[in-house]
Amino acid sequence: MSAQLQFRDVTLGYDRHPAVHHLTGEVMPGALLAVVGPNGAGKSTLFRGIVGLLKPLSGSIARGGVGVHDIAFLPQSADIDRSFPISVFDFVATGLWREVGAFGDLRGRRRARVAQALAAVGLTGFERRAIGTLSGGQTQRMLFARLMLQDARLIVLDEPFNAVDAKTSTDLLRLVKQWHAEGRTVLAALHDMDLVRNHFPQTLLLARGVVAWGCTAQVLTPDNLTAARKMCEAFDDDAAACVEADTPRAA
């Protein structure tokens, strides 16, 4: 079985300053992988590279035949412009853009699919609400509804349970497990180590580089977590930029 994601000595960063160094490894189809690490470990940078928003400074990322437009990506909620004048229904319906285009027909069966996705995340009755009126938990539910409509083989979640109430976390985690049971590949950046230990069989512990990667119980050891913290603390944000020869390459 070929890998869903394969990292070949990947370095990612901004303005030629690396944030993730020399990452090599692979994620198999159907994996449920937690990506953890201290603040500044490079988790969001890695995810931006996976979904094609950031080209590698060096190395390459292979996506197992999945195009970047076919990846379902949930960014951090802070990246959502809540002032944009759009209703909850219309926002969730953007999950169908790959299927119908920006000006596609949303009548009949497709409207029913949007309604079903909203019902699945507990937002029935919120269809006409402006997205800026939603609470943090309701916003995350809305984002998950959009992901459901994308029907993607590869799902990338950046802090999906951050700053939401316990019931919302439980409901959304249930959806993540459902996607995993359906054979989809799911990666999630997380901070709650107990949640990772209880629900995610595989973990990548990142601290600008790989500290440990594999079975969660073997990765989340006290020694590994201490090493990750020290690696991030030791990183020099004033380090020299990558040499000009490190030109970006796409998979």
Q: What is the pTM of this model?
A: 0.88
pLDDT of residue 162: 87
pLDDT at site 242: 39
What is the number of structural domains in the chain? 1
Which CATH number is 219's domain given? Answer: 3.40.50.300
pLDDT in the model for residue 100? 66
Instruction: Quote the domain boundaries for residue 72.
Output: 5-226
Would you say residue 233 lies in a domain?
A: no
Bridge partners of 23?
A: 10
Do 197 and 29 contact (CB within 8 A), yes or no?
no
135 found inside a domain: yes
**Cα separation, 140 vs 170, whole angstroms:** 12
Q: Which residues contact 115 (CB under 8 A, 6 or more apart)?
A: 124, 127
pLDDT tens for the chain, 251 residues long, are 699 999 999 999 988 788 999 999 999 999 999 999 999 899 999 999 999 999 999 999 999 999 988 899 998 876 778 888 899 999 999 898 877 665 556 666 889 999 999 999 999 999 999 999 999 999 999 999 999 999 999 999 999 998 889 999 999 999 999 999 999 999 999 999 999 999 999 999 999 999 999 999 999 999 999 999 988 876 655 444 334 334 344 44
Domain-embedded: residue 241 = no
- Pairing mode, strands 185-189 and 71-74: unpaired
Euclidean distance between CA atoms 215 and 238, whole angstroms: 34
Within a domain: residue 231? no
Question: What pLDDT sits at residue 107?
Answer: 64
Domain presence at residue 100: yes
Question: CA-CA distances (angstroms) from residue 148 to 96, 140, 160?
Answer: 10, 12, 14
Q: Which residues contact 119 (CB under 8 A, 6 or more apart)?
A: none
- Can you tell me which residue has the tokens 């497990």? 177
| 236 occurs within a structural domain | no
